[in-house]
Amino acid sequence: MTFLDNCSTCWALAGASAIVFGLLVVHRLFLHHLRTFPGPKLAAITSLYKMYYEVYKGGELLEHILELHAIYGPVVRIAPNELHFNDYTAYADIYVAGSHFTKDHAFYRCFGADGSTFGAIQPHDSRIRRNILSPLFSRRAVLKFEVVVQEKVDRLMSRLADHHGKPINMFLAFRCTAMDIIASYCFSRCFNALDAEGFRDLFVVTTQQAIPSLWVMKYFAFLLPVSAALPRRLTGQFLLAFVNLGRMIAAHIDRILDDTDLLDENDNPTICCRLLNAPKGNDTRSRRDLVEEAFSLLQAGTEGPGNACTIGSFYILNDPIIYKTLFEELRRASPNKDAGLKLSVLEKLPYLTAVIKESLRMSHGLVSPLPRIVGSTNVKISGYDVPARTVVGVSATCLHNDSNAFPDPHKFSPDRWLQPSSRELERHFVPFSRGPRMCLGINLAWCELTLIFGNVFRKLDLDLYDTTVEDFTKFKDFLTPVHQGRNLHVFAKARVD
């Protein structure tokens, strides 16, 4: 074949590609079933629009979506086959009433946890797995675990009091506490993250460094299994935490599988024992499934409570009135600072409860829209006719920052939860999601948040160090919010009153 023949072939291929692309553009702009929904034309043409904000801009898709809603209204087409809504009615239609919707595998595969409850795509599979695990996360089960949570909180208090005038990284301290709690809950074995020097536990620190790789995994999912097989020197900082934690969890799962005594369900059965002892036919769990379930629970159980404690503590310390009001309520409930603080007492304190709710609201939980795929028939979502097979979602941030529900939404105001009308706020309060796929660990999270806030702000005298409100005004979206400012640092000393 001559050079001219090669050129002719290349031109023919280029021409054919241009025609196909042109037809695709025409279809998505003028013939597609979502053509009547508002949004940027480029977003309607290609999913690379989302990829630009997620990968290239590094976690800025949510911020851009909020800007698009300000321009286009309550529903925006953010991809060729995807809509994003920004109101509670849509949230209820999608995540509560729309419980038969499937999860979007293109999104959930980036977590490398297909075998976990969180990664279950089909509602039926999710229901089976949740039925197995739900008894372990019931309020009754959590109350039996209170003594273990208190042990970890006591260890946190001891470590904080021992710093003797040195600034403490509370961002890491809270996450180490949450890590030790959820690890004990899953395995009946503590990882001792709280004992790490400066709270710089290997998994906690490097997981934070790895989070920015999340959206890369979404678009290049083949990298995750490959990275796990690579030598440590090739994985680098970004994937080291996931690889190491996965290996450690896998080793523990292997010990359970090899020791039949560990499979006996005692008074405090672990997550793994519960899954392995599930009635035959309910759900067959492979070793990989067990590792992915444990990995998912550890990540969620560390990042969510850790972030809520960090955000809440900053705003409490940044407002002397809030700080004083909370302390006075805690002192009335426990006049003796050295006495133990029981969950049954703390959870009845209205201002403490309001502080925790406001901390959860402003930390949001999961900020990324959790995409669902509409079933085989058209549905109504917030009054809009949405075609079958459309991907839909709502970010919790839209509800938590809704000024109609929460006036001055960026202000930390526990008092908003103490008003006669506060019950109306509950509809817009979704840090644990809603519906049949809401967070399994809600009872455990409330237990540890209550004990942490109660003990820290009753027994310690804290002062902010080198941290301002600007450090918490902007975050990037990597499923959970990643704030762009400095970590929360404080000085701590034991109270004398």
Binding-site residue ranges for heme: 439
> Identity (one letter) of the amino acid at 406?
F
**Which of 102, 94, 107, 128 is CA-nearest to residue 430?**
94
3-state secondary structure of 242: helix
Question: In the beta sheet, which residues pair with residue 83?
Answer: 77, 392
Angstrom distance (rounded) from CA 136 to CA 133: 6
- Copy the structure tokens of residue 22: 């042109």
> Identity (one letter) of the amino acid at 392?
V
**Which of 119, 146, 114, 116 is CA-nearest to residue 133?**
116
Sequence-distant (≥ 6) Cβ neighbours of residue 457 within 8 angstroms:
316, 323, 326, 327, 330
- Cβ contacts of 433-436, under 8 Å, gap ≥ 24: 433/95, 433/365, 433/366, 433/370, 433/396, 434/91, 434/92, 434/95, 434/96, 435/95, 435/96, 435/99, 436/99, 436/123, 436/126, 436/127, 436/130
Residue showing tokens 């934690």: 245
Which CA distances in Å does 476 have to 38, 211, 409? 25, 11, 18
Question: In the beta sheet, which residues pair with residue 386?
Answer: 379
Strands 391-394 and 82-85: parallel
3-state secondary structure of 152: helix
- Angle (CA) 56-363-148 rounded to 5° is 120
Question: In the beta sheet, which residues pair with residue 461?
Answer: 493
Sequence-distant (≥ 6) Cβ neighbours of residue 211 within 8 angstroms:
478, 480, 482
Binding residues, by number, are 439
Sequence-distant (≥ 6) Cβ neighbours of residue 5 within 8 angstroms:
none
**Which of 236, 220, 469, 455 is CA-nearest to residue 346?**
455
